[in-house]
Amino acid sequence: MELYGLIGKTLTHSFSGDYFLRKFQEKRIDAVYRLWEWDTLPDLYDFVRQNTDLRGFNVTIPYKRAVIQYMDKLDKAAGLTGSVNVVKVKRKKDKIFLHGFNTDVIGFERSLKPLIQGRTGLHALILGSGGSAHSVAFVLRKLGIYFTFVTRKPNKLEAVGYSWITPEVMKKCKLIINTTPLGMYPNVDEKPDIPYDLLTPEHVLFDLIYNPAETLFLKKGREKGAVTKNGLEMLKIQADESWKIWHAKLILGL
C-alpha cells in the first residue's frame, strides 16, 4: 500500500485527508493519506526512512520554507519562491532523494484570475511574509500586479507594518490577500488588522484559508460589498497537481 500525507504544526483545520481518501476510493487506488503534526520539523530523511511506503507528502504552515534544507532538488517555482508544499520521495537502493515542488503558485493563479479579469493597473497587499506569501508574490509578479508585504513584525526591508495601511493605501490597493493563519479554525474570531471600514465594492479579498469557508476577514469584506474568495479551490487544484507529481516519471538527475 502506498503512503502519502501532510506535514505541518496544526492540522485540525485540514481537509486534505478526506479529499485524498475520496480520490483513492474513486480511482480504486490502494493508498492511504496521513496527517503528521509536529511542533518542530524533524530530520526528513529519518522520517522517510521510518515510513518505508511513503511516496510523497504535502507541506503546510509553518514548514514550507524550512523543509528546503532537506531537498535534493527543487523545481523552478520552489526555487524562486523559497517555498515547498509538495515533496516527491525517490529511493535508490539505500539512498533517499527528496524533490521539492511548489504547486501553490498554480492553484493560486488559477483561482485568482477569474476575480481580476478585466482589471488593469492593480496594486495588492499581501498579508504575511511566509512561504505562502512568497508563492502569492510569484504569481502577482507574473501577472504584472504591484504588491507590498504587510506583517505584524516588519523586520525586513521588503515588508511594512499594518499601521502603514492608510486611507490612501486602501484606495490604491484594491486586491488584498491573506496568507496568514489568522481566522483559521478553531481561532475563527481572529482577523488581520486592516481598516475594514475603508473597504469598498471595488476591492477583492482573497483568503488562502478554507476552514472556515468564510473567515472573519472575508465576512468583513462581503459586508462592504467587496468580492471575496477563500482558498478551497486553490487547495483542490494544488492537491490534484500534487498527485500528478507523485505519479510522474521524473528524473532527479542525482
Name the active-site residue from 9, 23, 27, 64: 64
CA distances from 251 to 22, 53, 98 (A): 29, 20, 12
The cell for 195 is: 481598516
The cell for 158 is: 521588503
CA dist., res. 222 & res. 205, Å (int): 9
Q: Is 64 a catalytic residue?
A: yes
CA dist., res. 26 & res. 134, Å (int): 34
Catalytic residues: 64
